[in-house]
Amino acid sequence: MQDFALVSSGAFYVPLLTSKFDITPSSWHVWRQTADQHKSNSPNLALTADLPESCWRLPQSRGHLGIGFKSPVIITHVSIEHLTQSSSSLLDAPRDIVIWGFIEHAENLQRYRPVNLGVDDGPPHAVIEASRRQNPSGSFIKLVHVEYSPFDHESPVQTFPVYQDILRSGFDFGLIVVEIRGNWGAIETCLYRVRVHGKDIRDEL
């Protein structure tokens, strides 16, 4: 499946919708990157295919990553990847994950309200406030709420379909937020890779 969340394909992380993070890794942490690889702890590490042993490290168990796309995407699936080569790397894997899509444009907003009726959950307050400053009429909708398990060593890449009512509504998204609500017990969280699958809205025209 095509991955729309690649920097090489035009995707980018959205600083206003992304948790604060350390620019450089903690001195006590044994990093897997070699000296000539990425030296900064950039969220783009989670959106890059050619750095398989590098991750974006959050200094706590919770956090969020805003991802923008080159063009709007009709999202069908989301994949999460974590390196599972050693037991010591399992606890910092994300566990409780919610994917939020940002609804904008009149046609999407008209379809949004019936689909979102009765939903009392929402993204982090900081994400809501930042999005309102940029687009007061836009809203977030939950695409899927999943649990990632790093203990399945044969499936480090786990793919999850978005909710059926999202698919039926035909929403397209210019950006999403990956909210990590907890990991498997570590102080920090390591996000190796996020993939977003679906259809480019331009292919549907």
* Percentage of the chain modeled with pLDDT above 90: 60
In angstroms, rounded to a whole number, what is the distance separating the alpha carbons of residues 87 and 36?
26
**pLDDT band, very low/low/confident/very high, at 145 (cuts 50, 70, 90):** very high
Residues 6 or more apart from 40 whose CB is under 8 A from it? 23, 24
Average of per-residue pLDDT across 124-135:
92
Extract the tokens encoding 123.
């993204």
Q: Is the pLDDT of residue 30 over 50?
A: no
Kindly state the average pLDDT of the residues 101-113: 78
The answer on pLDDT for 84 being more than 90 is no
Band (pLDDT 50/70/90 cuts) for residue 20 is confident
What is the reported pLDDT for 25?
Answer: 46
Per-residue pLDDT band for 40 (boundaries 50, 70, 90) equals confident
Q: Worst-scoring range by mean pLDDT, 88-92, 127-131, 188-192?
A: 88-92
How many Å apart are CA 76 and CA 195, to the nearest integer?
Answer: 11
Lowest mean pLDDT among 53-67, 107-121, 125-139, 172-186: 107-121
CB–CB of 14/124 below 8 Å? Answer: no
74-83, 127-136, 179-188: the lowest-pLDDT one? 127-136
Show the tokens assigned to 179: 């909210």
Is the four-CA dihedral 205, 70, 83, 97 of positive or negative sign?
negative
pLDDT tens-digit map of 44-60: 999 998 877 788 999 99
pLDDT band at 114 (very low <50, low <70, confident <90, very high): low
Q: Is the pTM of this model over 0.85?
A: yes
Structural domains of the chain ordered from first start: 7-24+40-204 (2.60.120.260)
Dist. CA 53–CA 125, nearest whole Å: 32
* DSSP secondary structure of the chain: ---S--GGGT-EE-GGGS----SS--TTS---S-TTS--S--GGGGG-SS-TT--EEESSS-EEEEEEEEEEEEEEEEEEE---SSGGGTTTSEEEEEEEEEE-SHHHHHHHHHHHTT------HHHHHHHHHH-TT-EEEEEEEEE--TT-TT-SEEEEEPPHHHHHHT--EEEEEEEEEEESS-SSEEE-EEEEEEEEGGGG-
Identify the pLDDT of residue 153: 77
CA distance 186 to 105: 40
Q: Does residue 102 contact residue 131 with C-beta atoms inside 8 Å? A: yes
C-alpha–C-alpha distance, residues 30 and 43, integer Å: 19
Q: What's the mean pLDDT when you consider all of the chain?
A: 85
